[in-house]
């Protein structure tokens, strides 16, 4: 075993990814940027890579469908006032409906859940969905980082119960709303970054072990270029901690882990729903495919040890920037595009390696954006993936796009991800047996959205509903120009930003030279735009699509009512309508806190 068993005074013995455990000193006392050549080959790595390569056969594109049907998704006793008319789901399987389907609602009743990442976007919508569709669920234990129980309860009330995403429940239960929620949600003081998730030996831990049926691991650090040590701890080590706790649960039926479709890194083509194995790397796969010598193996334990070695040997003032550089360098070397993808892929490796007899489902979403339908269209929390691009463009500060207009970006609405989570966990938790199943919650093969489509939607929205500048005037936007090189993109940005800056300062003569102060001010704006372009470049040029055959099979097994109440199918979504009338208005209302009137569906 790479990860030895740790014995301690907390809840139970568990595996823990630890850089302190004795192991070959592969990285010790060598510069981080030269350490790659010091790793050794392993037969295990070679076998994993060869096996992975055999799974990378092309898969035909799925056919598209435009059929639609009515929808009823708001649960057994929702508010009378429903959202505006919305695009219904695909109806292609209704004639093949087999009565009971998967049995989603029946499964949810009386079950007890443990959820990590409870104050985050995905977990909130998951909890909302479960409570709306099955108010008779048992307990939902939510892990909350806090110094004590009182603080945890305060965070639960402020960040979860008071969240607007629960407005249907608030309308349904009225004055009894908080009482209902506190009767279902049980805050657990803990921290995914600590051993045993920061939960000490206690009555709460004993209840979790005795009662939990479903374990949902949705916590993650999603910063693309995060410090390597932090990303490893929060994404990779934390996943093993969650799994080890789940393995102690006596009634456990399923362990649901939320990953990302982009764990596939620099792979190309149409990619299958296959999990990663320990020692596997994308660089090694490509070496085998091209007949080149294998690179050094990927050893998760050594990556942890190496990260600690760097932190311990660089000045504290330099550690943050150095660890960001290290993370991106390690990711690139092994075949991933950024630190986030890399550490999430390693999380899948430890799940596969240490799952034992636990039934596991891994859900891999594409780029998660605001809700399409549930609990109401357009809800989103925080400045996530596309939001910085949308907001920068709406403010008139993004004159171009460092992107291939023909590349497909895999967009998936938040509520579709949650529905896939629920449906897949029920399918494999209803009659649990050991195994690991991967589901791509993706649109690229069934309903693709190109970069041109995306930016065209941005233009259509802001051209008809412009944002306001500091003086209260409409911000005028233009259709973006696409660039395939950073230099051309930056040069265009410099020219555009400076020209607009001079006009804002009252300099109308196109031949006039900008004053030094103005030039320095807008240099920072250009640097920000350039950084944004570079950060998204791997996604906006990535010619990859994600096969979702497992997800399509899941849809077939669902009854007609389940397909309506737990929409997984994305074939009927009109992306232009989604961005123009649902998502961007949602961003302006829920992220910028500046709702608009002309697009009232947010």
Residue with token string 């009555």: 203
Q: With b meaning 16 or more CB within 10 Å and e meaning fewer, what string describes 155-183?
A: bbbeebbebebbebbbebbeeebeebbee
Query: 129 catalytic, yes or no?
Result: no
Contact 377, 362 (CB under 8 A): no
Query: 344 catalytic, yes or no?
Result: yes
DSSP string of 464-504, one letter each residue: HS--B-TTSPBPP--PPEEESSHHHHHHHHHHHHHHHHHHH
Q: Calculate the CA dihedral of residues 478, 482, 486, 489 and round it to 10 degrees.
A: -30
Strand partners, 144: 189
**Residue 442 has which token pair?**
């993706």
Q: What distance in Å separates the CA atoms of residue 362 and residue 311, rounded to the nearest whole number?
A: 32
Q: Calculate the CA dihedral of residues 67, 69, 74, 75 and round it to 10 degrees.
A: -110
- Among residues 361, 366, 354, the alpha carbon closest in space to that of 264 is found at 366
Catalytic residue among 184, 344, 571, 589: 344
- Among residues 101, 26, 546, 541, the alpha carbon closest in space to that of 309 is found at 26
Contact 289, 153 (CB under 8 A): no
Catalytic residue among 228, 340, 439, 539: 340
Contact 350, 423 (CB under 8 A): no
**Residue 539 has which token pair?**
């996604």
Q: Write out the catalytic residue numbers.
A: 340, 344
């Amino acid at each position: 075993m790479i990860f030895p068993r740790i014995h301690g005074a907390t809840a139970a013995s568990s595996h823990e990814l630890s850089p302190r455990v004795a192991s070959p000193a592969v990285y010790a006392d060598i510069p981080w940027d030269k350490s790659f050549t010091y790793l050794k080959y392993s037969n295990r790595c070679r076998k994993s890579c060869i096996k992975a390569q055999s799974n990378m056969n092309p898969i035909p594109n799925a056919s598209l469908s435009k059929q639609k049907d009515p929808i009823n998704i708001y649960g057994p006793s929702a508010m009378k006032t429903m959202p505006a008319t919305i695009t219904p789901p695909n109806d292609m399987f209704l004639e093949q409906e087999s009565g009971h389907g998967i049995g989603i609602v029946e499964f949810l009743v009386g079950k007890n859940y443990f959820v990590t990442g409870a104050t985050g976007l995905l977990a909130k919508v998951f909890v909302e969905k479960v409570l709306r569709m099955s108010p008779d669920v048992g307990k939902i234990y939510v892990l909350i980082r806090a110094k004590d129980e009182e603080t945890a309860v305060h965070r639960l009330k402020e960040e979860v119960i008071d969240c607007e995403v629960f407005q249907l429940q608030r309308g349904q239960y009225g004055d009894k709303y908080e009482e209902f929620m506190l009767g279902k949600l049980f805050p657990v003081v803990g921290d995914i970054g600590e051993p045993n998730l920061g939960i000490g030996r206690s009555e709460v831990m004993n209840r979790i072990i005795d009662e939990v049926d479903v374990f949902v691991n949705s916590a993650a650090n999603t910063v693309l270029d995060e410090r390597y040590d932090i990303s490893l701890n929060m994404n990779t080590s934390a996943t093993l901690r969650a799994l080890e706790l789940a393995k102690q649960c006596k009634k456990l039926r399923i362990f649901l882990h939320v990953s990302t479709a982009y764990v596939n890194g620099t792979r190309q083509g149409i990619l299958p729903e296959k999990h990663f194995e320990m020692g596997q790397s994308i660089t090694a796969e490509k070496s085998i495919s091209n007949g080149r010598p294998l690179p050094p193996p990927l050893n998760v334990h050594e990556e942890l040890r190496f990260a600690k070695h760097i932190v311990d040997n660089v000045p504290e003032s330099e550690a943050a920037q150095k660890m960001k550089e290290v993370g991106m360098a390690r990711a690139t070397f092994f075949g991933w595009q950024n630190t986030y993808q890399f550490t999430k892929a390693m999380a899948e490796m430890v799940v596969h390696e240490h799952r034992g007899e636990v039934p596991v489902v891994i859900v891999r979403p594409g780029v998660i954006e605001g809700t399409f339908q549930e609990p109401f269209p357009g809800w989103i929390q925080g400045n996530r993936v596309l939001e910085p691009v949308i907001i920068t463009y709406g403010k008139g500060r993004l004159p171009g796009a460092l992107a291939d207009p023909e590349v497909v970006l895999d967009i998936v609405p938040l509520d579709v991800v949650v529905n896939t989570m629920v449906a897949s966990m029920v399918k494999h938790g209803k009659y649990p047996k050991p195994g690991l199943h991967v589901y791509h919650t993706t649109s690229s093969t069934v309903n693709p959205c190109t970069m041109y489509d995306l930016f065209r939607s941005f233009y259509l929205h802001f051209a008809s509903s412009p944002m306001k500048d500091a003086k209260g005037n409409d911000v005028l936007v233009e259709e973006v120009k696409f660039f395939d090189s950073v230099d051309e993109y930056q040069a265009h940005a410099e020219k555009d930003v400076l020209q607009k800056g001079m006009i804002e300062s009252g300099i109308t003569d196109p031949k006039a030279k900008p004053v030094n102060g103005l030039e320095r001010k807008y240099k920072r704006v250009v640097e920000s735009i350039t950084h944004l372009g570079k950060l998204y470049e791997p996604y906006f040029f990535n010619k990859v699509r994600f096969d979702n055959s497992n997800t399509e099979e899941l849809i077939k097994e669902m009854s007609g009512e389940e397909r309506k109440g737990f929409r997984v199918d994305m074939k009927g979504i009109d992306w232009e309508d989604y961005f123009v009338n649902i998502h961007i208005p949602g961003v302006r209302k829920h992220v910028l806190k500046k709702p608009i009137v002309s697009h009232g569906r947010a």
